[in-house]
Structure 1
Amino acid sequence: MQLNDLRPAEGAKKARKRIGRGNASGHGTTAGRGTKGQLSRSGGGKGAGFEGGQQPLAMRLPKLPGFTNRNRVEYAPVNLSRLEEKFADGDIVDTASLIAAGIIKREYELVKVLGNGEITKKLTVKVDKVSASAKAKIEAAGGKVELPC
Structure 2
Amino acid sequence: MTTKLNDLHDNPGARKDRVRVGRGIGSGLGKTAGRGQKGQTSRSGVAIKGFEGGQMPLHMRLPKRGFNNIFRKDYAVVNLGTLQAAIDSGKLTVGQKVDRAVLLETRILTHGRDGVRLLGKGVLTAALHIDVAGASAAAQAAVEAAGGTVTLPPPAPAPLSRDEQKAARAVARAAKAAKAAN
Fold conserved (TM > 0.5)?
A: yes
Structure 2 residue aligned with 1:116: 121
Q: Which has the higher helix share?
A: 2
Deviation >4 Å, runs of 4+: 106-109
Using the aligned pairs only, state the percent identity. Answer: 36
Structure 2 residue aligned with 1:44: none
Distance 1:61 1:141, change over 3 A: same
Could you tell me which runs of 5 or more consecutive residues in structure 2 were left unpaired when the two chains were aligned. 1-50, 87-91, 155-182
User: CA RMSD, aligned part only?
Assistant: 2.6
Q: How does 1:56-75 map to 2 (within 5 A)?
A: 56-58=56-58, 61-75=61-75
Shift of 1:106: 4.8
Structure 2 residue aligned with 1:129: 134
Shift of 1:137: 0.6
- Distance (whole Å) between structure 2 residues aligned to residue 76 and residue 107 of structure 1: 4
Point out which structure has higher relative CO (alpha carbons under 8 A, 6+ apart): 1
Q: Is the 8 A contact 2:75 2:113 kept in 1?
A: no
Q: How does 1:1-149 map to 2 (within 5 A)?
A: 49-50=53-54, 56-58=56-58, 61-86=61-86, 87-106=92-111, 108-148=113-153
Q: How many matched pairs?
A: 99
- Distance (whole Å) between structure 2 residues aligned to residue 107 and residue 96 of structure 1: 11
Bigger radius of gyration among the two: 1
